[in-house]
Amino acid sequence: MKRIVLTLFLGILLFTLQSTLLTLSPFHRVRPDLILIFILFMGLSSPLVSGGVLSLFFGYGMDLFSGNMFGLYTLTRSILFFLAHTFKNHLYLERPSFQSIFVFLFIWLEGLLILFLLRILNPEPWGTLLPLLFSRFLPQSLSTALLSPLLFFLFHKGSFLLSSESKFGSGERG
Amino acid sequence: MRMGSLFLSRRYTLLTIVILLLLFALILMSLRVKQKGGVEGLDAFLIELYSPFQKGATSIFNKVKGLFYSYLFLVELEKENRILKQKIARLERENQEMKALASSGERLRKLLQFRDSFSMKMVAAEVIGRDPTSWFKSLTLNKGERDGVQRGMAVLSPEGVVGQILKTGPYHSIVLLITDYNSAVDGMVERTKAKALVKGTGENRCYLKYLLRSEEVNVGDRVITSGLTGNFPKGLAIGEITKIEKESHGVFQYAELIPKVDFTKLEEVLIVTETFTPPPQKGKPIKKTK
């Protein structure tokens, strides 16, 4: 329970950073998606049910604050979580470069999924949507991928500390 | 055998939960598409859950930014000048604070002047957060339903139109910017009175949709609100035309415009809390509703 509450709190903090501090950067296009990295890390380390519910919750928050009227992130973030969870035993993610590639591939998967859903839900000419893919989405995906090894390392440390603390606590109780 | 069936049942339970969660996401999505609004109660609750964090973080970052600018060039000073430089630092900080105050005062004065130039009721709000994604364009404001803010209300700045309220919580609200891909505002070219729909591109630009090919528009023409929808009063600046593409065939022409408002530097906005009915037919009076 403690772990879920801390994960929730950390997710909200990352969301706050993403929608406040990172928007102050002079390079608006280069704004890493911290929540996505966090959801992918949860996919690799969290239990299926609690992680799934939390990724759905974070996706809902993204939808709410981005002004997106369709609820796309609620769906895509849950899918990303389940995919990462499903393939976690088949992925080699020990090296930072592999972590970056993993995040880059997943963020592009989500981008294409969003583009596809937008095209279905609100038919607009590709001319409006496609430029965004390269002018906005590509810089964001690159910056997210580059930052992911550092965040994975920090999340891993935090998760390790939390689990060792709970083990120590249970030992005391026992 | 028993272990095997236990494993299978656990596997199926997990699969059921995954399917249920994805189904839930799809139901939410279809609800939003149907209502174009979402699940109001849940939305309001989540806005109020996230916004205090955004508000706190914005206030901390603004303070840190002020201090950072004051001390940035004073870190590696020589020891013998410490006292003198501390004095300079203090004076610089004071100067910076004075400048920030003056700049804030100037912005608020402009905002007040702008508000006074209109007879309609407005509420001033502070920007406490921005869109967290690269696909959509929005702002979070520190005013909500308790301040009379409702969905669809126009949001302005002294420079021009900012957007409209998309979602509201009791104390906070979310604005859909005019540059968002989903945004559409009724506009007209000020010089020729040619009417068109101002749509966002998702970048920091807009374009004119349904602008008749027969209309003569030039680069540099100002585009203003037409007042045809209930949300935006007539005559507010939207932007300036920067590009025109006219094909040799077709009914419409394409015109791109740059908004008057610099959304990256926006700190305070005004929300029009009155809605206006479209211009009346001849002989009928203008109806103003709160």
Q: Do A78 and B202 touch (CB under 8 A)?
A: no
pLDDT band for position B48 (cuts 50, 70, 90): confident
End-to-end Cα spacing for chain A: 19
Q: Mean pLDDT score of chain B, rounded to an integer? A: 78
Name the more confident of B247 and B126: B126
Mean pLDDT of B263-282: 72
The encoded tokens of residue B142 equal 């520190």
- Give the closest-approach CA distance of A49 to chain B in angstroms: 7
By the 10 Å C-beta count (0-12 exposed, 13-18 middle, 19+ buried), B106 is classed as exposed
Mean pLDDT of B208-212: 88
- Give the closest-approach CA distance of A69 to chain B in angstroms: 6
Residues paired with B195 in a beta bridge: B188
- Check: CB of residue B206 under 8 Å from CB of residue B253: no
Alpha-carbon separation of residue B237 from B16, B79, B161, B163 (angstroms)? 53, 54, 6, 12
Residue of chain A whose alpha carbon sits nearest to that of B60: A21
Q: Is the confidence at residue B284, as pLDDT, over 70?
A: no
The contacts of residue B125 (CB under 8 Å, 6+ apart) are: B141, B142, B143, B147, B149, B155, B173, B268, B269, B270, B271
How confident is the model at residue B259, as a pLDDT? 92
Q: Is the confidence at residue B181, as pLDDT, over 60?
A: yes
The encoded tokens of residue B268 equal 């305070």
pLDDT band for position A171 (cuts 50, 70, 90): very low
- Check: CB of residue B125 under 8 Å from CB of residue B111: no
How confident is the model at residue B141, as a pLDDT? 92
pLDDT band for position A151 (cuts 50, 70, 90): very high
Q: How far is Cα B262 from Cα A21, in angstroms, rounded to an integer?
A: 18
The minimal CB distance from A48 to the residues B18, B42, B50 is found for B18
Name the more confident of A23 and B280: A23
pLDDT band for position B236 (cuts 50, 70, 90): confident
Tell me which range, B3-7, B52-56, B140-144, B180-184, is most confidently predicted by mean pLDDT. B140-144
Q: How far is Cα A101 from Cα A96, in angstroms, rounded to an integer?
A: 9
Mean pLDDT of A59-68: 84
- What percent of chain B stands above pLDDT 90? 10
Q: Is the confidence at residue B87, as pLDDT, over 90?
A: no
Q: Is the confidence at residue B7, as pLDDT, over 60?
A: no
Q: How far is Cα B264 from Cα B130, in angstroms, rounded to an integer?
A: 9
Q: Is the confidence at residue A153, as pLDDT, over 60?
A: yes
- Check: CB of residue B63 under 8 Å from CB of residue B36: no
- Give the closest-approach CA distance of A96 to chain B in angstroms: 24
Q: Is the confidence at residue B229, as pLDDT, over 80?
A: no
Instruction: Check if A37 contacts B (Cβ < 8 Å).
Output: no
How confident is the model at residue A169, as a pLDDT? 44
Mean pLDDT of A124-152: 83
Establish, for the pair of chains A and B, how many residue pairs have beta carbons separated by less than 8 Å: 163
Q: Do B50 and A61 touch (CB under 8 A)?
A: yes
Contact residues, A window 64-83, toward B, CB-based 8 Å cutoff: 64-75, 78-79, 82
Alpha-carbon separation of residue A94 from A39, A53, A62, A82, A100 (angstroms)? 18, 27, 29, 20, 11
Q: Cα–chain-centroid distance for residue A93? A: 16
ipTM of predicted complex: 0.74
- Check: CB of residue B178 under 8 Å from CB of residue B256: no
Q: Is the confidence at residue B196, as pLDDT, over 50?
A: yes
**Helices (H), ranges, chain A:** 2-19, 34-45, 48-66, 72-86, 96-121, 126-132, 138-173
The encoded tokens of residue A51 equal 């992680």
Q: Which of A109, A102, A137, A108 is nearest to A30 (CA)?
A: A137
Q: How far is Cα B240 from Cα B137, in angstroms, rounded to an integer?
A: 20
- Check: CB of residue B165 under 8 Å from CB of residue B182: no
The minimal CB distance from B136 to the residues A35, A67, A121 is found for A67
How confident is the model at residue B79, as a pLDDT? 59
Q: Count of residues for chain A? A: 174
Residue of chain B whose alpha carbon sits nearest to that of A28: B264
How confident is the model at residue B232, as a pLDDT? 84
Q: Is the confidence at residue A173, as pLDDT, over 60?
A: no
Q: Count of residues for chain B? A: 290
How confident is the model at residue B163, as a pLDDT? 92
Contact residues, A window 117-136, toward B, CB-based 8 Å cutoff: 118, 121-122, 124, 128-129, 131-132, 135-136
Q: Is the confidence at residue A150, as pLDDT, over 80?
A: yes
Instruction: Check if B109 contacts A (Cβ < 8 Å).
Output: no
